[in-house]
């Protein structure tokens, strides 16, 4: 078994780019695109607007959730709100990664804290979660191919890094 400890054990909140006390709609310039899903559970008001719709328990729930988040994504694009659109993208990506984790590991638990954070055995999770992950994956990739999102992201990175 892999014994690499999870990165959250050494989490440095002070140097983390995203802060829970910032309203990213009022101060969008403080938002960072980052890698993957970084900041998704912190950036308000988007966390509260999108997060309440994020579910992946089974394929039916994942379908409703991913479609709702995709609709929210389109609404943000219509408002030229790149931060909101990117946050919606992150929730779709996280729907994929979390559902895959629950497919790969029973209960979604990847590490055993009682045994030095050894990675638990893969292939013990819920097969239904693989289908839910696929639903989110398709919506996530649809978002990334959206021409307006791509254009806004390019402009954002040129302006704010």
Residue 7's DSSP bridge partners are none
Q: Domain residues of the chain, as ranges?
A: 37-160
Task: Kindly list the averaged pLDDT for each block of 10 residues, start to end, along the chain of length 161.
Answer: 62 81 95 88 96 96 98 98 97 96 84 78 83 97 98 94 78
Q: How far is residue 89's CA from residue 69's CA, in Å, rounded to a whole number?
A: 8
Is 33:157 a contact under the CB 8 Å cutoff? yes
What confidence score (pLDDT) does residue 114 get?
80
- Residue 69: closest CA among 149, 129, 151, 139: 139
The pTM score is: 0.88
List phi, psi (to 5°) of 79.
Answer: -90, 5
What confidence score (pLDDT) does residue 8 get?
64
b/e code 51-90 from CB counts within 10 Å (16+ = b): eebbbbeebeebbebbebbbebbbebbeeebbbbbbbbbb
What does the chain come to in residues?
161
């Amino acid at each position: 078994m892999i014994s690499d400890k999870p990165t959250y054990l050494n989490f440095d909140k002070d140097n983390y780019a995203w802060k829970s006390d910032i309203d990213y709609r009022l101060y969008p310039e403080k938002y960072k695109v980052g890698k993957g899903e970084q900041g998704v559970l912190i950036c308000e008001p988007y966390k509260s607007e999108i997060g309440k719709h994020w579910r992946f328990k089974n394929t039916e729930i994942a379908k409703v959730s991913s479609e709702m988040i995709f609709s929210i994504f389109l609404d943000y694009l219509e408002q030229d709100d790149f931060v909101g659109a990117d946050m919606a993208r992150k929730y779709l990506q996280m729907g994929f990664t979390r559902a895959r984790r629950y497919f790969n590991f029973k209960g979604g638990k990847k590490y055993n804290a009682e045994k030095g954070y050894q990675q638990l055995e893969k292939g013990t999770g819920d097969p239904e979660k693989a289908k839910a992950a696929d639903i989110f994956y398709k919506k996530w990739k649809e978002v990334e191919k959206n021409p307006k999102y791509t254009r806004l992201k390019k402009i954002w990175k040129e302006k704010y890094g």
